[in-house]
Amino acid sequence: MTFTETLKTAWRSILLGVGVLVGQCVDVMSADRIVVEPSRIEITSQLDQVQLLVTLVKESGQPRDVTRVSSFNFEGDSVASIDSQGRLQATGAGEATLAVRHGGLVSRLPVVVGEGFDVGTSRFVDHVLPVLSRSGCNQGAC
């Protein structure tokens, strides 16, 4: 094999590798849509939290969870805070629109925080008992 043939073979290998990488990028970008669940968020208490699920649905119909690699931004007033894992918690009463982005795809959903939001009440059964159960106190260990 001559030097020229070896060089051509090396370049073909490099270009084929780049083609595979471009093919993978196009595969991700050719996704049909993203689906965000729940499609509407209503919060009535300071203690309520909502976990979002962002699903990438490819043209072939194959779903993939992309919640942790998506970005979340409020358009207009921010009535809630959201972390990088898609967990949302209210910060004030009002309405807003949450934009969820993955790649070039965007999905928007309404977020409504009720007017009675500021009057949060905690109840023993809902908020204290689960903590006691988690630490084993419901079995006589405390």
Residues 48, 24 share a domain: no
For the stretch 39-73, pLDDT in tens is 999 988 777 889 999 999 988 889 999 999 999 99
DSSP string across the chain: --HHHHHHHHHHHHHHHHHHHHHHHHHHHT--EEEEESSSEEE-STT-EEE-EEEEE-TTS-EEE-GGGSEEEEESS--EEE-TTSEEEE-SSEEEEEEEEETTEEEEEEEEE-GGGGS----IIIIIHHHHHHTTGGGT--
For the stretch 65-105, pLDDT in tens is 999 999 999 998 888 899 989 999 988 888 999 999 998 89
| pLDDT over 90 percentage in the chain | 36
Residues 40, 25 share a domain: no
Domain total for the chain? 2
Structural domain for 19, as ranges: 1-30
| pLDDT over 70 percentage in the chain | 80
Residues 35, 25 share a domain: no
Tell me the pTM: 0.62
